Amino acid sequence: MLIIRRRRGESIVIGEDIEIEILETSPTQVKLGISAPKEVTVLRSEIRVTRDVNRAASSSDPNKLSQLVNQIRETESSPTALSPEESTVVLPDEKKSITP
Amino acid sequence: MPSISTKQFGIVQFVEEDVFEFPNGLPGFESEQRFLCIERPALRPVVFLQSIAQTDLCFITLPARSVDPGYELEVAAEERKVLGLAAAEAPVWDQSLACLAIVCLPTDGSPTANLLGPVVLSRETHKGVQAVRDDRRYSALTPLQSAASEQKPAVPSPVEKSQADRLAEV
């Protein structure tokens, strides 16, 4: 990893057209200004982590769902549903397409 | 009444008022901006986040406090705006908000929940946003502990080292 010391108002350049300027610093935070071409994706690293985890979650195994529910109910005496219920579409249980 | 044909639930009928709008989509799924929350009594507390446009996309979620009873929600100014909350409004967790952690259920491996980026829904405005935190209190891969392996509720695990290395706030 390349380590560079910079002060407020100074910047670094990556390649020909990406520039990162130090706008503000505090003991706990640094505010950066990033100029980059439109096609370059700039993300907070947490967003990238979440993007990757979202993609993995989108192909979750539905066959493991009932196991998950049992596990959660073991640790929790009264499951808190997303009440009030009018916000959700509650489907009847008869359709057994999820629970094996 | 509009309806969609889903992979998991078959035909689901809904009314427009049921729809949660995600103006920014979700990271990795930016074009998915309309979702339904679906519950099944037998599977509570699981809440399914079903995309309306891409009908085979359905996230499995749990209320964040089912994963970690002490979970503290934080919503940045930008996301408050999306949800229609006043910018300076201090209490974030009230009756009008729901906070769901997207669950990852791999075929091989243990289930995890994303407490780094919970999905926050406003029941009042029916807007939704994935509010990715910028502190490192919670992990995107928080393990869901079973009662057998741990007596106490799941403790948030330390976040991956790679995140600690980058502290950029754009």
Model confidence pLDDT, tens digit, residues A19-49:
999 999 999 989 999 999 999 989 899 999 9
pLDDT tens digits along B98-154: 999 999 999 888 999 999 999 999 988 999 999 999 888 999 999 987 544 444 444
Q: Determine the number of helices (DSSP H) and then strands (DSSP E) in chain B.
A: 3, 11
Measure in Å the smallest separation between the Cα of B140 and chain A Cα atoms. Answer: 7
Residue A84, pLDDT score? 45
The radius of gyration computed from the CA coordinates of chain B, to the nearest angstrom, equals 16
Task: Quote the domain boundaries for residue B25.
Answer: 3-144
| pLDDT at residue A86 greater than cutoff 60 | no
Measured CA distances, A2 to A12, A14, A30, B97, B169 (Å): 12, 12, 18, 43, 19
Candidate from B38, B116, B169 with C-beta closest to A49? B116
pLDDT tens digits along B157-170: 444 434 433 333 33
Beta B34-39 vs A89-90: how paired, if at all?
Answer: parallel
Residue B163, pLDDT score? 40
Regarding an ipTM greater than 0.95, the answer is no
> Quick check: A72 and B45 CB within 8 A?
yes
From the candidates A3, A41, A68, A85, which should be mutated to test the interface with B, based on the most B CB atoms within 10 A? Answer: A68
What is the separation of C-alpha A95 from the centre of its chain, rounded to a whole number of angstroms?
A: 32
> Quick check: A46 and B36 CB within 8 A?
no
Reported as type and span, the H/E element at residue A54 is helix A45-58
B157 found inside a domain = no
Q: What per-residue string of b and e applies to A4-25 under the rule 16 or more CB within 10 Å gives b?
A: eeeeeeeeeeeeeeeebbbeee
Ramachandran region of residue B109, left (φ > 0), alpha (ψ -120 to 50) or beta? left
DSSP structural state of residue B43: G
In sequence order, the β-bridge partners of residue A35 are A19
Q: Measured between CB atoms, does B64 come within 8 Å of chain A? A: no
B154 found inside a domain = no
Q: Using CA coordinates, name the residue in chain B closest to A57.
A: B104
Q: Measured between CB atoms, does B164 come within 8 Å of chain A? A: no
Note the pTM of the prediction, 2 decimals: 0.78
CA distance B129 to B118: 8
In this structure, what CATH number is given to the domain that contains residue B93? 2.30.290.10
B101 found inside a domain = yes
How many folded domains does chain B comprise?
A: 1
Residue B159, pLDDT score? 44
Whether B117 and B132 have beta carbons less than 8 Å apart is answered as yes
Whether B139 and B116 have beta carbons less than 8 Å apart is answered as yes
Measured CA distances, B121 to A11, A40, A48, B86, B100 (Å): 38, 30, 21, 15, 8
> Quick check: B37 and A98 CB within 8 A?
no
Measure in Å the smallest separation between the Cα of A73 and chain B Cα atoms. Answer: 8
